[in-house]
Amino acid sequence: MKKSGLTAIILGVILLSTTSVYAQKRKISLEDLYKKGIFYEKSVNGLTSMNDGESYTVLEDDRRVVEYDYSSGKQLSVLFDPSSFHNDDLSRFENYILSDNETKMFIITNVSRIYRHSFKATYYIYDIKQKTLEPLSESNQVMVATFSPDAQKVSYVRDNNIFIKNLITKEEKQITFDGLYNSIINGAVDWVYEEEFALTTGMQWSPDSKKLAFYRFDESEVMQFNMTKFQNNLYPENYTFKYPKAGEKNSVVSIHVYNAESGKTIKMDVGEESNQYIARIKWTYSPDQLCIIRMNRLQNKMDFLVANANTGESKTFYTEENKYYLPEPTDNLLTFTEDGKNFIITSEKSGYNHIYLYGMDGKLVKQLTDGTNEVIEIYGYENKGKRVFFKGFDLSPLRTAIYSIKIENLELAKLSPNSGSNNAEFSKNFKYFILSQSNSVSPTLVTVNKDKGKQIRVLEDNHTLKETLAYYDIPKKEFFSFKTSEGVDLNAYIIKPLNFDPSIKYPVMMTQYSGPGSISVKDEWDLSWDQYLASIGYIVVCADGRGTGGKGEAFQKMTYGQLGYYESIDQIETAKYLKSLGYVDSSRIGIWGWSYGGYMSSLCLFKGADEFKMAIAVAPVTNWRYYDSVYTERFMGLPQDNALGYDKNSPINYVDKLIGKLLIVHGTGDDNVHIQNSIEMIEKLVQANKQFDMMFYPDKNHNIDGGNTTLHLYTMMSKYVKENL
């Protein structure tokens, strides 16, 4: 059938209009990025696998906790619906935690953040069968509430002491009495353990619910840091907390086990040395055996101890040492097999991080993975199929993949089908996993997959975001590598301006983090300030220099004892390489970064004064003597033993070399990298008669966010780039 003339005209107008819309794509704006949330990426929140491994729960946008079937996607039940209760606190419902036996649930509301992980909150206990809701504590907010496995008891921390509530009798019992702010912590952790060991709780119930193992921190001799809180006070408040700096005294940590039946507490034997770290505790499958992971102060020796929970006696069953340092311990560092005969760990003993199977006698059974493709983390061990599930690099530090390996024949299987960035959350029985995947051109896709990788269905494809992106002109990230003058191969990416013309010379803004073991050059979705700068005419480049991760121990640990030395050389080498490109304006190269990246950007501006026109340093470390003990000493040793290493590459000692423009940005409430760092560098710059710019954000922490802060920050930095690069 032929179209009428009028119909053809109308269709032509529509086609022209559509073509015009797509021909005139919008440029991303700072408001789009940091205020309107136009590029918000959706995911699946509050994911918890149920014990049968056949279903999982999620926290829906309407704050309901809903159970779904892994295979079919069918909604099985609504475990919790806040609209069923007339309770104002539920309007501030942030998260939930299921008890191990899935009969009860914590409803966490009124959250008050303390540091990066820690918080106080109002906890409600919801009985799933009876559909009743009652507060855990009537008195005030508590910390780290934890169900016993049988869900008959709850332990929690209030005012640095541990309490246990019997959910049958409703009786609350205090089991520690010496807790005191800035002195003794029971059941929770101190600042440096939380920040550098990512330890979120200081207590664990035994498998039979009869014993509670807990940390006790004596931080009475740790030096106190003072931080002024300015806002909403006629007289600013002085906030104090214990912060051990490099070389200074740490908390003395002990491990105790409380017996709920006898009411007695037994101290575990962790050795005579008190100047050490207890990085993790973990119950074995036996309710009488507690595993304790101990590290020396220099973090180059680690012992696995097994302690008798009834007597406190302990013995070492595994020890590992490294001439530099051992990786930061994580919750998944150690996995016990259910038969009690073996344990699985990751180690860098081959020069690359890999998985090993050991007997409980500490003898090696076999190495499970090898080669240059490092393991990132273990997800768990499936006893039935005798498989270890893990995340590792996918032939390059740029990309990650999900794998399984069989212990018996070392059969390796790649479970994630798409190249890019892959993360997984497995069901309790490892029959299914929920896969989150993205790459530099595609937002996150969340799918349900079978244990061998087959995709069952899509949970979230970010379709709305993709439709939005179609109306925008987004500069693309291109990956490349180059060789420095020292013959070092570095991975990098470049984002070129829209309508890039190689005959034009463009200014360059380099971005980096550069910290030990970090990776910034990754094939993953990340729409950020990088793309904004490229959209207004700047080339953006990022290079991962020596000291970063994914290339083995030798590449990463060569910076040991002299942080900043090789990293700054490689960033300066990157600038020199860029100057050799015909489309780069060699007189207009800048560098910026945040935290370690802020440290590096200021150091590079000083040491590479001839290469960089300007730098922005956000929340920078300026002297390693000012930073915390655990992180700094892991990579630098003690300042008492390595004074030259600490001072040789601290930016405050190079301020006299400043030629270009420098912007220093810091939050006055930064509990991590204290504003002292920026204050000290400012004073050095003043005494060297060097001009610079600075911006302080009142009471803002290391993230410098909240309200309109993020938009203001990036607007200010963008203006600085436009005016000085």
Let me know: does 548 contact 522? Beta carbons within 8 Å: no
Q: What are phi and psi of 275, to 5 degrees?
A: -90, 70
d(CA 117, CA 200): 6
Tokens describing residue 450: 């079978």
Give the number of other Cβ atoms within 10 Å of residue 362's Cβ.
Answer: 12
3-class DSSP state of 97:
strand
pLDDT in tens, 208-247: 999 999 999 999 999 999 999 998 889 999 999 999 999 9
Give Cα 523 distance to the centre of its chain.
18
Residue 553 has pLDDT above 80, yes or no: yes
User: Do 337 and 357 form a contact (C-beta atoms < 8 A)?
Assistant: no
Q: What is the pLDDT of residues 369-397, one digit of tens each?
A: 999 999 999 999 999 999 999 999 999 99
Strand 75-80, strand 93-98: pairing: unpaired
Cβ atoms of 664 and 692 within 8 Å: the answer is yes
Vertex 709 angle, CA 708 and 714, to 5°: 110
C-alpha 647/C-alpha 623 separation (Å) is: 7
What DSSP character marks residue 487?
S
The answer to whether position 523 is within a domain reads yes
Separation between Cα atoms, residue 105 and residue 100, nearest integer Å: 9
- Measured from the Cβ of residue 701, the count of other Cβ atoms closer than 10 Å reads 20
| Closest C-alpha among 662, 547, 646, 562 to residue 606 | 662
Indicate if the pLDDT at residue 20 is higher than 60: no
End-to-end CA, the chain: 61
Residue 601 DSSP SS3: helix
Contacts of 267 (CB under 8 A, 6+ apart): 254, 255, 256, 312
Q: Is the pLDDT of residue 591 over 70?
A: yes
430 and 53 in contact (C-beta within 8 Å)?
Answer: yes
Nearest to 642 by CA among 322, 221, 324, 225: 324
Range of the domain at 658: 473-622+648-724
Q: What is the DSSP string of 510-549?
A: EE----TT-----SS---SHHHHHHHTT-EEEEEE-TT-S
CA–CA–CA angle 567, 568, 572 (5° rounding): 120
Distance CA 702, CA 620 (A): 10
- Please write the tens of the pLDDT for every residue from 314-340: 999 999 999 999 999 999 999 999 888
What does the pLDDT read at residue 233? 86
215 assigned to some structural domain: no
Q: What is the pLDDT of residues 659-685, one digit of tens each?
A: 999 999 999 999 999 999 999 999 999
Within-domain flag for 499: yes
**221 within some domain:** no
Could you tell me if 532 and 566 are in contact, meaning their C-beta atoms sit under 8 angstroms apart? no
Amino acid found at 526: D
Q: What pLDDT is recorded for position 469?
A: 96
Under DSSP, is residue 457 helix (H, G, I), strand (E, B) or coil? strand
**Domain annotation covers residue 88:** no
pLDDT of res. 138: 82
Strand order in the sheet with 48-49: 48-49, 55-59, 65-69, 75-80
Query: Contact, 542 vs 535, CB < 8 A?
Result: no
Is pLDDT above 90 for 6? no
**Phi and psi dihedrals of 87, rounded to 5?**
-140, 115
Neighbours of 56 (CB within 10 A): 23
Residue-wise DSSP of 125-191: EEETTTTEEEES-SSS-BEEEEE-TTSSEEEEEETTEEEEEETTT--EEE-----BTTTEEESS--H
Whole-model pTM: value is 0.94
Question: What six digits make up the tokens of 421?
Answer: 């960035």
Q: What's the chain's average pLDDT?
A: 95
Q: What is the CATH number of the domain that holds 602?
A: 3.40.50.1820
pLDDT at residue 139, rounded to an integer: 76
Whether the predicted pLDDT of 18 surpasses 50: no
Query: Residues 409, 368: contact at Cβ < 8 Å?
Result: no
pLDDT tier for residue 21 given thresholds of 50, 70 and 90: very low
The residue whose two tokens read 């996995």 is: 335
d(CA 569, CA 552): 20
In a domain, 638, yes or no: no
Amino acid at residue number 339: D
Best CA proximity match to 147, nearest among 161, 172, 166, 130: 166
The CA distance from 392 to 422, in Å, is 9
Average pLDDT over residues 493-502: 97
Q: Name the pLDDT band for 466 (thresholds 50, 70, 90).
A: very high
3-class SS shares of the chain: helix, strand, coil, % to 5: 20, 35, 45
**What are the beta bridge partners of residue 278?**
294
Q: Answer whether residue 539 is part of any domain.
A: yes
Q: What share of the chain in percent tops pLDDT 70? A: 97
In a domain, 588, yes or no: yes
What's the pLDDT band for 23 if we cut at 50, 70, 90?
low
Cα dihedral sign, 143-291-48-208: negative
Asked if pLDDT for residue 8 goes beyond 70, the answer is no
CA dihedral over 522, 525, 529, 531, signed as positive or negative: positive
Mean predicted confidence (pLDDT) in 680-697: 98
Report the number of distinct structural domains present in the chain: 1
Rounded-to-integer distance, Cα 641 and Cα 142, Å: 41
Give the mean pLDDT of 26-38.
Answer: 95
Question: Do residues 462 and 443 touch, judged by C-beta distance below 8 A?
Answer: yes
- Please check the confidence at residue 10 and state whether its pLDDT lies above 70: no
pLDDT(487) > 70: yes
Closest to 436 (Cα-Cα) out of 418, 450, 456: 418
The mean pLDDT value for 137-153 works out to: 94
Q: Mapping DSSP to helix (H, G, I), strand (E, B) and coil, where does residue 33 land?
A: helix
What pLDDT was estimated at residue 22? Answer: 46
